[in-house]
A and B are shown apart, each in its own frame.
Chain A
Amino acid sequence: MKSAVVVFPGSNRERDMIAALATITGQPPAVVWHTETDLPPADLIVLPGGFSYGDYLRSGAIAARSPVIRAVKERADAGVPVLGICNGFQILCEAGLLPGALMRNASLRFVCREVHLRVETVRSVFTRNYAAGQTIRCPVAHGDGNYRCDEATLATLRGDDRIAFRYVDAEGAATDAANPNGSVDSIAGILNPKRNVLGMMPHPENLIEAIQGGIDGRGLFESVMGETAAA
Chain B
Amino acid sequence: MKARVTVTLKSGVLDPQGKAIEGALGSLGFAGVSGVRQGKVFDFDIAETDPATAANLLQDMCEKLLANTVIEDYRIEMV
CB atoms of B71 and A148 under 8 A apart? yes
A108 in complex: contacting residue of B16, B65, B66, B70, CB < 8 Å:
B16
**Chain A residue, CB-CB nearest to B40:** A57
B16 in complex: contacting residue of A61, A65, A101, A106, CB < 8 Å:
A106
| In the assembled complex, A15 has its CB within 8 A of some CB on chain B | no
**A105-B15 Cα distance, complex, nearest whole Å:** 10
CB atoms of B17 and A100 under 8 A apart? no
B69 to chain A, nearest CB (A): 9
| In the assembled complex, A199 has its CB within 8 A of some CB on chain B | no
Residues of B within 8 A of A (CB): 13-14, 16-17, 20, 64-66, 68, 70-71
| In the assembled complex, A180 has its CB within 8 A of some CB on chain B | no
B60 to chain A, nearest CB (A): 13
**A82-B71 Cα distance, complex, nearest whole Å:** 24
**Chain B residue, CB-CB nearest to A93:** B70
Give chain B's interface secondary structure class: helix
Q: Tell which of B13, B14, B64, B70 has the most Cβ of chain A within 10 Å.
A: B70
**Chain B residue, CB-CB nearest to A106:** B16
A103-B16 in contact given A148-B71, A150-B70 (Cβ < 8 Å): yes
CB atoms of B14 and A106 under 8 A apart? yes
| In the assembled complex, A204 has its CB within 8 A of some CB on chain B | no
Q: Which of A70-112 contact B (CB under 8 A)?
A: 93-94, 99-101, 103-108
**A104-B16 Cα distance, complex, nearest whole Å:** 7
**Chain B residue, CB-CB nearest to A184:** B14
A132-158 interface bits toward B, Cβ cutoff 8 Å, 1 = contact, 0 = none: 000000000000001011100000000
**Chain B residue, CB-CB nearest to A65:** B65
